[in-house]
């Protein structure tokens, strides 16, 4: 039973990584078409992915429903899928600016801290800097990149000074840039 569970978890992880790749970064890797808002037809996705990974509508739904980070969203009619944030390709998620909490957090690797102190947090290949409402989530994200350091963002002051924040469907706060003067280590 445990062997079956491990195999299923590995399959779900593999499909999740594949979906992240083609829906966030490289739809052209399988010839997939995304609309301006990042939506792809599930039928087209299944068809175009056949040569690389076997997908079914049920498997896609399972990945979407069990994703701990809720990376994906299926349209209300059940015909389309997209990722909630993290794109390196041009998409318009149609998110409206929102007032953020007073403080947000960002987890990163200690090796990046010198450039962050000089330039602030930049989106890199993505459209936005990703921020968390809690230290635990920021820590989990930062650990993926090495020895973690948590940065506290003075989101309230940034917002008051005209910076825009957006809240993705999976509760990740997004902004275009966090200048260094708004960063500090949590107390």
Quick one: pLDDT at residue 70? Answer: 85
Residues 65 and 109 in one domain: no
Number of domains in the chain: 2
The CATH number of the domain where 51 resides is what? Answer: 1.10.10.970
Residue 89 included in any domain: no
Structural domain ending residue among the three candidates 52, 83, 114: 83
Quick one: pLDDT at residue 157? Answer: 98
Residues 7 and 75 in one domain: yes
Per-residue pLDDT of the chain (187 residues; tens, 9 = 90+): 555 456 578 889 999 999 999 999 999 999 999 999 999 999 999 999 998 999 999 999 999 998 877 889 999 999 999 998 888 888 888 889 999 999 999 999 999 999 999 999 998 777 789 999 999 999 998 888 889 999 999 999 999 999 999 998 888 999 999 999 999 987 6
pTM for this entry: 0.74
Residue 34 included in any domain: yes
Local structure of 151: helix, strand or coil: strand
What is the largest distance, in Å, between two alpha-carbon atoms of the chain? 56
Contact by Cβ (8 Å): 71, 86: yes
Q: Which of 140, 5, 8 is nearest to 69 (CA)?
A: 140
Q: Helices 57-66 and 2-20, interaxial angle, to 10°?
A: 90
Count Cβ atoms within 10 A of the Cβ of residue 185 and give its class: 0-12 exposed, 13-18 middle, 19 or more buried. Answer: exposed
Residue 162 included in any domain: yes
Residues 61 and 9 in one domain: yes
Residue 75 included in any domain: yes
Q: Which of 123, 124, 127, 121 is nearest to 155 (CA)?
A: 121
- Tell me the residue range of the domain where 125 lies: 104-184
Quick one: pLDDT at residue 187? Answer: 63
Contact by Cβ (8 Å): 71, 16: yes
Q: Which of 31, 173, 42 is nearest to 102 (CA)?
A: 173
Q: Which of 175, 174, 172 is nearest to 67 (CA)?
A: 172
The residues, any chain, with a CB within 8 Å of residue 145's CB and separated by 6 or more, are 108, 109, 112
Cα separation values, 60 from 20, 63, 78, 152, 172, Å: 12, 5, 11, 35, 22
């Amino acid at each position: 039973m445990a062997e079956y569970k491990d195999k299923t978890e590995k399959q779900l992880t593999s499909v999740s990584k594949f979906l992240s790749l083609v829906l966030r970064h490289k739809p052209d890797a399988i010839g997939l078409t995304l609309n301006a808002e990042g939506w792809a037809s599930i039928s087209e996705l299944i068809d175009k992915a056949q040569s690389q990974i076997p997908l079914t509508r049920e498997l896609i739904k399972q990945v979407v429903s069990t994703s701990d980070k809720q990376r994906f969203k299926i349209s209300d009619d059940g015909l389309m899928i997209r990722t909630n944030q993290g794109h390196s390709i041009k998409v318009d998620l149609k998110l409206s600016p929102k007032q953020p909490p007073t403080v947000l957090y960002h987890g990163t690797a200690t090796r990046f801290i010198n450039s962050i102190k000089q330039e602030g947090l930049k989106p890199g290949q993505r459209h936005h800097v990703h921020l968390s409402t809690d230290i635990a989530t920021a820590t989990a994200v930062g650990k993926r990149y090495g020895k973690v350091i948590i940065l506290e963002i003075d989101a309230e002051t940034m917002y008051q000074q005209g910076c825009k924040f957006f809240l993705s469907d999976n509760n990740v706060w997004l902004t275009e840039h966090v200048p260094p003067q708004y960063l500090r280590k949590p107390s």
